[in-house]
Structure 1
Amino acid sequence: MNVADLLARQAVKMPHATAVIQAERILSFAEFDALVWGLCRCFRENGLLVGDVVGVHVQNPLLHLATILALARSGMVSVAISTLGSDGQASRNILLRAAVSAVIDDAGSLNWGCQKQINLDPVHALNLQGEHDESLRVDLPNARMMLRTSSGTTGLPKIVEATHASMIASIRREIACIGYPVGERYLTPVALQFDGPRRRYLSCLASGATAVMPSGVPSFTSLFALIDQHDIRHFSCVPSQAYQMALSVPPGKQRFPQMRCFRLSAGPSEAQLHQFLRERLTPNICISYGCTELGPLTVAKPDLVTSKPQSVGYAMPGIELEIVSANDDPVPAGAVGIVRLRTEGMPAGYLGDPAATEKYFRNGWFYPGDLGSIAEDGLVFHLGRADDMMIMNGVNIYPAEIEQAMMSHPAVVDAVAMPLKHKVVNDIPVCVLALGAGQALSEQELLVFARRRLESHSPKRIFVLDEIPRNEHGKVKRPELIQTIVSRLQAET
């Protein structure tokens, strides 16, 4: 089965139902499927062949989604690339490592240095229409359809392969656990260069729901207008975006009480944020935990987010999730250990990176580098990155316990804990905080607060910044943050 068949089935089943909305453009399932067929013909006529790896630099989200479906239907392999900030150099590195032979670009002014470059004019491309043509469709379920790339916040971006079969399995997990009811409208402000938004929009179309897409990078005003105009019932974003949305809403009334699912993904989130979102936005906060390599892994629905705010929910069907020791021995329920995962059709490793493959893919399991625990009833708790665990004088200190404690302070809106290396005590725990608008607390006052709650596990230094640097997907830009801390310390000496 080809992943684009999921769209084709809906085009046959409910051809006149609305598939996608972007500004004034509204396409039915039949019309959107015809657009994908038109792009298939366009790419073949421009010399792309079955098996080609194609870089996708398409900034219009509607055209981006149609492009990756057309490439998949045609037996080609897509990899999203970006020119945003430092990502531009990372994308050129990805082009080399992934052996990209062509780039599809809707900007028109960039030269990617590949054998082929197809410059799409969005106005023309979005009006392409094609008929069903089996000569253009390739049905190889175990063939690659996409290369996923990590954010690269901790180093060189990693590249992992997704087959048609593994992507379809991921989409079906998403639909089963989150739900995309027929006709319900879904929206995200996160760019489609990231795996999560791509998969959710594909899930939306596969289940007969409607994908609503912004034009360009939406402001909060335009985002709220989209939600109101299209009666959005399913919305997803990263925690930092959710906080800014809630901050712009006056207290006293929920802005979107009708929303079925307001989903937080990518970065960790805390009970204080969940409560703030319930007060200002909607009672229906949903949490998901996943990774680029395998897709969504766990989900916590609104009642669970309220009753167990520190958990990330239960493992999705088809996902085996275990907590093990450093020696790969299973640990008792409730004990903290290393997360490992496996699922049918998972990748065997990273493309062109044997060292990372050896570290993270072992004995049929994938080790994402996270710390966690599982309660006796199967409830999963995410406790941060294993690489960030601190050992001070032989005592294990977990970043999550510091971050959760500091986020309980009413003035704190973001927190990141990390170690500073020391030749005697191994790791010195420090915490970087961002305070809410109008809040003014000294680092010493915050240290006293931390010591009362964490005692010997409290951070030894606290740094307050206007904002903690995160990428668009909510992940901390650690090299940038570490440089800020080092600069602060150097200024003190």
Structure 2
Amino acid sequence: MGFFAKLAAHATNKMAHPAIISERLSLTYGELFDCVKKTALNLDAAGFGPSEVVGICIEDEVDHVIISLALLATGASIITLPGHDAPQLRTSLAHRVSVTRIIESSDAHNFLDYRCGGSPSPVFPPGGQIAAASVLYFRTSGTTGDVNVVPFSEAQVAAQADRHREYAGERLLRLASIEHNNSKRHRLYCVWQGGTNVFKPRGKFDLVQFVLQHRVSCLDISRMHASDLIALNKVGKLSGLKIRTGGSAVPYAVRRAIQEKVTTNLYVRYAATECGAISMAGPGDHDEAGAVGIPLDGVELQIVNDQGSRLPLGERGEIRIRAEGVASTYLNSPSDTSKRFRDGWFYPGDLGHIHAGGQLVLDGRTDDMIILNGLNIFPAEIERVLETHPDVDCVAALGLPSQVHGQIPVAAVILKAGVSVTTVELRCFARASLGLRAPRRIIVLDSFPRNSQGKVLKRELLKLFQ
């Protein structure tokens, strides 16, 4: 079953249930299906169909999701060309995927049809049910190297969506735009499950008031938004809200602050572009180890050594997973495909271990492992220690190349406002817990270089040490 058929089922079974809520309009599932169908008819008349790979560059989130669903209904394949990217990056991405046509914001009105009700719209697709043959392309974050493009069938994305049955009863607000891969994926998951997608207004707005006004039940934020959320006025009014976050490490201090000042209903997700969500730490799962929960239903996860042999409980090694909906290849990248997809397993390139209760703890990236005179140092162990210092807000640990030692552990920190701790004091603090594993240099920054999804770009950070 594809997304259009699923939407048709929702239009029958939950016609009056709210599907989309935004400041400019609200749509039930009956209305959303009618809009998508009429828009698909317009696209079909303009020649869009299974032979097309369509780049979508539409900033308006509601327009974007309806165009995406309508293109899938025609059988076209889709990829987002984000407006926040430089034009040359969008051009390069479109070339890599062999995009045949592009729909921009200025073109969207030629196809969108928001008129609901009136005389019934024609049956779509003309001549019968279309197979769910579309491909959805998502690009990886590219924090440690060049970006890759991951092709998914509709069935694979649907299998990922099936791991999020909670969306069926939720009103979901995401602060990151739908032009970000992770946001688009979860917006589609919400549609698949028949939940309510709530879209934020453009520009500055009162988040607390908006959440209360539109009865948002789940707020999905990045690590970047977490500190801002804690500092908001009236944030205590959100005590019944569910908050989900992920994308990068969420320190225990930040988790504790959210649970104390905002809501106890905090969920920290571990996921990858290539497979969607892998595990989730719930309200009672947060501890100083920074656990990210047990694997979700249907996800098999193992910790293995360099030879691919499974390691005992508690030992650190490389993570590998398999589940329905996991990708099997990167587009036109055989070397990276053979590295990450092996023997039916996906290797996300993360290090971790399983601790008490079966929870997964992340220890960093395989590419980020620091090797000091043959001693393996996990960046996460440095980060977790420094994050316990009362004056530290964020930490990123990495290895500085050395001709003598191989690599030297170093760290960059962002301090909390109004503090004056010195880097010498921070090094002593780290050395007391880590010994030889402690960072030899620490620098203080106002912010970290991040990509558009909030992940720290360690290659850019390394330049600040050199």
TM-score band (shorter)? over 0.9
Cα distance in 1 between the residues matched to 2:351 and 2:91: 32
> How high is the TM-score relative to the length of structure 1?
0.89
**2:88 matched residue in structure 1:** 89
Contact kept, 8 Å, 1:90 with 1:157, in 2: the verdict is no
**1:232 matched residue in structure 2:** 216
How far did 1:128 drift?
Answer: 5.1
> How high is the TM-score relative to the length of structure 2?
0.94
What's the % identity of the aligned pairs?
29
CA displacement, residues 180-219 of structure 1 (integer Å, 9 cap, x when unaligned): 243x311011111223222322232333321110133x53
Is 1:79 equivalent to 2:70 in the alignment?
no
Is 1:292 equivalent to 2:273 in the alignment?
yes
Quickly say closer, same or farther: Cα 1:25–1:309, change in 2 above 3 A. Answer: farther
**2:282 matched residue in structure 1:** 301
Mapping 1:237-316, distance limit 5 Å? 237-249=221-233, 254-259=236-241, 261-305=242-286, 307=287, 310-316=290-296
Contact kept, 8 Å, 1:19 with 1:28, in 2: the verdict is yes
Is 1:120 equivalent to 2:108 in the alignment?
yes
The range that moved more, 29-38 or 147-156, is 147-156
Contact kept, 8 Å, 1:370 with 1:383, in 2: the verdict is yes
Mapping 1:4-83, distance limit 5 Å? 4-83=4-83
Quickly say closer, same or farther: Cα 1:337–1:139, change in 2 above 3 A. Answer: farther
2:158 to 157, 161, 168: 168
RMSD over aligned CA atoms reads 2.0
Quickly say closer, same or farther: Cα 1:422–1:294, change in 2 above 3 A. Answer: same
The range that moved more, 76-85 or 266-275, is 76-85
Is 1:180 equivalent to 2:182 in the alignment?
no
1:436 to 405, 411, 416: 416
How far did 1:440 drift?
Answer: 2.0
- Gapped runs of 5+ residues in structure 1? 109-118, 487-493
**1:369 matched residue in structure 2:** 349
Cα distance in 2 between the residues matched to 1:126 and 1:311: 46
Cα distance in 2 between the residues matched to 1:381 and 1:81: 34
How far did 1:25 drift?
Answer: 0.7
CA displacement, residues 136-164 of structure 1 (integer Å, 9 cap, x when unaligned): 876435x3430011122333321111111
CA displacement, residues 324-346 of structure 1 (integer Å, 9 cap, x when unaligned): 11111111111000011112353
**1:2 matched residue in structure 2:** 2
Cα distance in 1 between the residues matched to 2:438 and 2:454: 25
CA displacement, residues 347-385 of structure 1 (integer Å, 9 cap, x when unaligned): 221001112112111122111110011236432111111
Contact kept, 8 Å, 1:41 with 1:136, in 2: the verdict is no
Give the secondary-structure state (helix, strand or coil) at the position aligned to 1:59. Answer: coil
Contact kept, 8 Å, 1:140 with 1:164, in 2: the verdict is no
How far did 1:453 drift?
Answer: 1.9
Contact kept, 8 Å, 1:144 with 1:161, in 2: the verdict is no
Cα distance in 2 between the residues matched to 1:14 and 1:448: 60
Contact kept, 8 Å, 1:254 with 1:279, in 2: the verdict is no
Q: Which runs of 4+ in 1 moved over 6 A?
A: none
Quickly say closer, same or farther: Cα 1:379–1:164, change in 2 above 3 A. Answer: same
Aligned positions, number: 462
Cα distance in 2 between the residues matched to 1:411 and 1:465: 13
Give the secondary-structure state (helix, strand or coil) at the position aligned to 1:206. Answer: helix
How far did 1:126 drift?
Answer: 5.4
Contact kept, 8 Å, 1:161 with 1:350, in 2: the verdict is yes
**2:405 matched residue in structure 1:** 425
Cα distance in 1 between the residues matched to 2:223 and 2:128: 39
**1:193 matched residue in structure 2:** 179
How far did 1:239 drift?
Answer: 1.2
